[in-house]
Amino acid sequence: MLVAVGDTHKRLRNVALSLVTTTKTKPEFLNEVERAAIRVLDSWKDKPQVIFCEEARKFTFNVIVKQVLGLTPDDPQTAKILQDFLTFMRGLISLPLYIPGTPYARAVQARIRISSTVKAIIEERRRDAENSSKRDDFLEILLCVDTLSEDEKVSFVLDSLLGGYETTSLLMALAVHFLGKSPTALEQLKLEHQKIRSMKQKDDYLNWDDYKRMDFTQNVIHEALRCGNVVKFVHRKALKDIKFRDYQIPSGWKVLPVFSAVHLDPSLHASALQFHPWRWEGRDQTCKKFTPFGGGSRCCPGSELAKIQVAFFLHHLVQNFRWNTKDGDQPFAYPYVEFQRGLTLNLDHCST
């Protein structure tokens, strides 16, 4: 979807929006997100230290592979896809020279293997459909869409895995990193989630109404997006001559909007380099001064799903753990945002 234009982009986006709209409020999806978060955090009980970026990727991958392909963490195909996907990610932004052994060549081969695995799953689903066996996931809905070709459906699955895995886990890491540096924000966040939990029975799952009550959590997420700039820039190609303010952009030229130049501009955001979630209280979070998910017809259709995952994970994290990070483990962008040491957390289990 990033490179598609015109009718192709419109068709892909409409499918994505319909999938997100029908998924985000469903109890099955919300329950699965929460179960995945609890599974990861339960594995920390006897650990004094974790590499958070690895844990976050484990969580988001398990969620997205379940929602898109209906696979569980224990399914052999899940491990196979994850291994190939890690190879694919390492070569996604690399020098595009197809020479055996280079990250780019390995990424191309990994994508071929992922595509082959997805196609095999699709064929299996079609055989199951003949026996009236249906599942409740993205792929089941996707197979009923007549406006997409077979290759577009496979590509759509890969796009969904990419968007739901890497960028969401990075957002989680940024939120945890900034909260660790802001005890006041962490304490207010914990109080918000304790209040929500006090309104529920011990083993009750979170629901859509609970999510809508997470006002300060939303502020934390948006501030992490502003400060961290998960997506640094995108490129757009002018399909015709365009005049923008005092600039004439010829047809065929590429434009690179740099989001961090807007998000960290002190003339647009007071104390722009400071992590301050309270700045979003009473402010429009969809304005042109804040575009972490893009805008217009290019706005990320899965943004709400990402925020739900982060919010539910934080709900259980802040009530069960305190943490601090190693000095010098800062996020950097090369070629995309990541942490030098994977964001190592020293854990302290909360007694309440």
What backbone torsions phi and psi does residue 101 show, to the nearest 5 degrees?
100, -15
Compute the distance between CA of residue 249 and CA of residue 301 in angstroms, rounded to an integer. 28
Q: Would you tell me how many other CB atoms lie within 10 Å of the CB of residue 264?
A: 15
29: left (phi over 0), alpha (psi -120 to 50) or beta: alpha
Compute the distance between CA of residue 87 and CA of residue 107 in angstroms, rounded to an integer. 6
Q: Flag whether 144 is marked binding.
A: no
Take residue 27 and report the two structure tokens written for it.
């109890």
DSSP assigned state of 203: T
Compute the distance between CA of residue 85 and CA of residue 77 in angstroms, rounded to an integer. 12
116 Cβ neighbours under 8 A, 6+ residues apart: none
Which residue bears the tokens 């575009």?
Answer: 291
Q: Would you tell me how many other CB atoms lie within 10 Å of the CB of residue 149?
A: 11
DSSP assignments along 214-248, one per residue: -HHHHHHHHHHHHHH-SS-B--EE-SS-EEETTEE
Residue 321, class by beta-carbon neighbours within 10 Å (0-12 exposed, 13-18 middle, 19+ buried)? Answer: middle
Compute the distance between CA of residue 193 and CA of residue 204 in angstroms, rounded to an integer. 14
Take residue 275 and report the two structure tokens written for it.
């992590």
Is residue 12 a contact partner of residue 4, using CB atoms and an 8 Å limit? yes
Is residue 225 a contact partner of residue 171, using CB atoms and an 8 Å limit? yes
Nearest to 194 by CA among 38, 308, 277, 318: 318
Residue ranges for the known binding site for heme are 300
For the annotated binding site, the residues are 300
